[in-house]
Amino acid sequence: MVRYRLIVAYEGTEFHGWQKQEPKNAPPLRTVQGVLESVVSKVVREPVILVGASRTDSGVHAKGQVAAFSTNREIPPERLARAITSRCPEDLQILSADVVPEGFDPIADAIIKKYRYQIQHGRVIRPLFDRRTVWTTHHDLDLQRMKDGAARLVGTHDFEPFASANHGRETTVRTILECDVECSSGNRITIEVVGNGFLYNMVRIIAGSLLEIGRGARSPESIDQAFSSGDRSLTGPTLGPQGLSLEWIEHELPESDGSQHIEEDSSR
């Protein structure tokens, strides 16, 4: 068996998230995992189980999702990536593929993730061509106030007040390594968050909290108050999925036995 890792990008608007969903007495929903698993199975000519590192929600995008599968077929990684992408719909593609140790688990072996959230603000015309990848507010946002709030998120904290009630995790303690807010253009603000793990809707609630701080509805100190009290009412709303993108994931690979090296076939 050979285990492959795929770096996957998708525009998430027309997907019901990453994870396969097969409702009872109804057709399966269109999900990234469902579509990609079907395509990969056709390429390698056998059924595969595709595991993704992050279960992005409906409407959320990805530039660096990581997925893995094992197969009996040995295909040079570059050719595999091209073959899969050629069969994918236009809102999904494989950026790269490589061979990893058989024990590689995209979920358990993930050590750092980066998310980006884009907001257009102020009394300007709403975005047209990138409307599916940015959240719009008509409030004018104060960048420095948002930066102050973002700095208070860095470190190891209990992020319970920054998660949806049905997060399903045993512990809500997470470490945020970086949380930056920058003006990427005249009326466009980008929030970038790097951490060792994220709870359900955590980044969208962080974005909502910083938006509230930026428009003056909350103080930067409300971040500290939320941590100390654990009170969800002290954090902001869950912003829409369209502004959110999974940028990249870093993994710590298990040791390999050296039996899975495949050379690219230069004759094709």
Residue 211 backbone dihedrals phi, psi, to 5 degrees: -65, -45
- Does the pLDDT at position 127 exceed 60? yes
Q: 57 catalytic, yes or no?
A: yes
Would you put residue 6 in left (φ > 0), alpha (ψ -120 to 50) or beta? beta
176/20 Cα distance (integer angstroms) = 29
- Does the pLDDT at position 208 exceed 80? yes
pLDDT digits (tens, 9 = 90+) for 17-69: 999 999 989 999 999 999 999 999 999 999 999 999 999 999 999 999 999 99
CATH of 111-248, one of 3.40.50.300, 3.30.70.100, 3.30.70.660, 2.40.50.100: 3.30.70.660
Collect all residues with Cβ–Cβ distance below 8 Å to 5 and sequence separation of at least 6: 66, 67, 68, 97, 98, 99, 100, 104, 106
- Does the pLDDT at position 266 exceed 70? no
With contact defined as beta carbons under 8 Å apart, do 20 and 7 qualify?
Answer: no
77/223 Cα distance (integer angstroms) = 45
Topology alike, domains 2-108 and 111-248: yes
| Predicted local confidence at residue 2, as pLDDT | 97
- Does the pLDDT at position 210 exceed 60? yes
pLDDT digits (tens, 9 = 90+) for 68-120: 999 999 999 999 999 999 999 999 999 999 999 999 999 999 999 999 999 99
32/56 Cα distance (integer angstroms) = 9
With contact defined as beta carbons under 8 Å apart, do 210 and 180 qualify?
Answer: no
| Predicted local confidence at residue 5, as pLDDT | 98
- Does the pLDDT at position 267 exceed 90? no
DSSP codes of every residue in 180-234: EEEEEETTEEEEEEEES---TTHHHHHHHHHHHHHTTSS-TTHHHHHHHH--GGG
- Reading the block at residue 95, the tokens are 């950026």
Burial of 261 (0-12, 13-18, 19+ CB in 10 A): exposed
Query: Span 181-193, mean pLDDT?
Result: 94
- Does the pLDDT at position 180 exceed 70? yes
| Predicted local confidence at residue 64, as pLDDT | 98
pTM, two decimals, is: 0.92
- Does the pLDDT at position 261 exceed 70? no
Count the Cβ atoms, other than its own, within 10 Å of residue 98.
Answer: 14
Sketch the domain layout of the chain as residue ranges. 2-108, 111-248
pLDDT digits (tens, 9 = 90+) for 8-22: 999 999 999 999 999
210/117 Cα distance (integer angstroms) = 11
- Does the pLDDT at position 124 exceed 90? no
CATH 3.30.470.20 for domain 2-108, yes or no, is no
